[in-house]
Amino acid sequence: MTAPLKAEWSTDGGKRTLVLSGTWTTEALDLVGWSRVVPADIVGQDVRVDFQQIDSLDSNAALVLHRWVGHIRDAAKSVELHAAPDFYERIAEAYAGGSSAEMVPPARQWGDGLARIGQRTIEAIRSAVDLVAFLGEVTVRLAHALLRPRELRLKSMVYHMQATGVAALPIVGLLSFLLGVVTAYQGADQLARFGAQIFTVNVVGIGVLREMGALITAIVVAGRSASAFAAQIGTMKINEELDAMRVIGLDPVMVLVIPRALALFLMFPLMVVFADAAGILGGAIMATFSLDISIGQFARQLQAEVPLYHFWVGLAKAPLFAMAIAAIGCQQGLLVGQDAASVGVRTTTAVVQAIFFVIIIDAAMSIFFSVLGV
């Protein structure tokens, strides 16, 4: 039977001695209810802590003793450890190495902010390069799949056409309709000062067909589809389904990425056309109620004053928007780690990056068409 733990103070040759004996374990500490008391008479004294009579010692008890010896060291003049076990020394060294005194954050320097800006710039450039590389890989795989139609997963593609395209039409149509209403109202409010309310039709037609229809569709799809792609693929990665695909000889890019990218590529132009129609309808209804411009007058003015190439300019952005959104969503899903938190982080990143690159592409194409004089 093991001896109970004891901690007894004595005086030997004018030196205070703490004799530790018995079994020092977590269970023994709980049973005894031992109290770590530092006697008042050791202040300014030389203290000797004797470990020689300890029968057994576990890590929790060693840590408790180390902290108690620390309190004794704070009160006494000096502390001498006698026959301390190697295990105790290792625990004390490990605890001292992780103490808060050595974890004081470094002092801030004047160049720290500039260094953080540089680091984030490098990370942004690296992310852009990785995205371009992934987009290139998807394009090559897509061309390969189109040359060999049997490798296309038509059922998966049709499912994603419904999920990313058809299911998004109500929200795309509603937002485009309201955007047309707002554009007509704001345009009429400004043009009324010059008695040129009829040109509200021009503002609505050019704004919706050239910019608003495609852009609002891209933002909605980025919020819906990019996040869905990242979450779906990321969850499959956490569940090790991607590893299982590779084991049985399937390519995750061909199975997961290509059907989503092709579905979005095919549906996006149709969604832009739907958004254009809804936006123009909203502008026409607003013009009818606020400017007394009939639907017939609106249609004639639109046909006479708004060239058709504005529609084609807006529609030309659709494939680029679609590929960027699909690539970003799928890439972020493939980058998910092995924890659930990573899914949320990558999903958020997918939405933010998709909207950011949509706006960048829109600005670049606007400059391009401006240079061409279109």
**Which of these, 109, 228, 72, lies nearest to 165 by C-alpha position?**
228
pLDDT-based confidence at residue 221 (cuts at 50, 70, 90)? very high
For residues 219 and 224, what is the distance between their CA atoms, to the nearest angstrom? Answer: 9
- In this predicted structure, what is the pLDDT of residue 173? 92
Per-residue pLDDT of 284-308, as tens digits, reads: 888 888 777 888 888 888 888 888 8
Q: What is the mean pLDDT of the chain?
A: 84
Residue 11 structure tokens: 């005086």
Averaged over 260-279, what is the pLDDT?
92
For residues 25 and 60, what is the distance between their CA atoms, to the nearest angstrom? Answer: 7
- Asked whether residue 217 carries a pLDDT value surpassing 90, the answer given is yes
- In this predicted structure, what is the pLDDT of residue 322? 92
Whether residue 68 contacts residue 49, with contact meaning beta carbons closer than 8 Å, is answered with: no
- In this predicted structure, what is the pLDDT of residue 107? 63
- In this predicted structure, what is the pLDDT of residue 93? 80
Q: How far apart, in Å, are the Cα atoms of 40 and each of 1, 68, 73, 216?
A: 35, 14, 13, 76
- In this predicted structure, what is the pLDDT of residue 174? 94
* Vertex 153 angle, CA 147 and 158, to 5°: 115
Residue 125 structure tokens: 């450039």
Per-residue pLDDT of 308-344, as tens digits, reads: 888 899 899 999 999 999 999 998 988 888 777 888 8
Would you call 282 exposed, middle or buried from its count of C-beta atoms within 10 A (0-12, 13-18, 19+)? buried
Per-residue pLDDT of 130-165, as tens digits, reads: 888 888 888 888 888 778 878 788 888 899 999 988
DSSP per-residue letters across 129-179: HHHHHHHHHHHHHHHHHHHSGGGS-HHHHHHHHHHHTGGGHHHHHHHHHHH
202: CB partners within 8 A, 6+ apart? 301, 305, 306
- Asked whether residue 98 carries a pLDDT value surpassing 60, the answer given is no
The top-scoring range by mean pLDDT among 6-20, 77-91, 247-261 is: 247-261
- What 3-state DSSP class applies to 81? strand
